[in-house]
Amino acid sequence: MKKCMKILLLFLIPSLGSFAEGYYGTNYLLSAPVAGAAGSTAIHTSSNAIVAWAEGYTNMQYGTDVSEVWMTPEKALGAAEGTSFEVVSLGRGGQITLTFPAGIGDRAGADFSVFENSHSDEFLELAHVEVSSDGIHFVRFPNYSDTPSSVRAFGGLWTRWIYGFAGKYRQGYGTLFDLN
């Protein structure tokens, strides 16, 4: 599997209702397909369902394998650009905690999403997502990859084999998460 980074929260959305019934169930195979395909759970950066973007960050820790040019945590704030350049890279094992104007609450359906900057549906950089109500104790979202072997540098992943990781979709599309 490609590098997995710890990232915490990116933006808030209101209720979208039930998305992809069973997606967060116990049967992970097959998971939701690529952005734009029937059954996809991806949300576009221009969606009017988005009500707030991250406004601040704390606990910024860079991991390994990240160039200084990408050490720009301010680029994780505000609306996702949907490009490969207006990003912060956490590196392997890095993390950031993002904050929101009014926090994030549990509503029916998806509550927030995380965007990545992949330039294709297969070149994905996955990240664990954790949430906290107090900023000290975090709970990781369940995740799973049925990728059959390690992915080489610049190798590809099949979106349908990935569940519960941020970075599942190409740039411009976010991965939805439900606090329930």
Distance CA 127, CA 9 (A): 11
83 and 118 Cβ atoms separated by less than 8 Å: no
pLDDT in tens, 154-173: 778 878 888 899 989 999 99
Domain range spanning residue 106?
Answer: 1-180
pLDDT at position 134 is: 86
Arithmetic mean of pLDDT, 23-48? 78
Residue 120 per-residue DSSP state: S
As for how many domains the chain has, the answer is: 1
pLDDT at position 30 is: 64
Distance CA 169, CA 159 (A): 7
Q: Is the confidence at residue 47, as pLDDT, over 90?
A: yes
Arithmetic mean of pLDDT, 36-49? 93
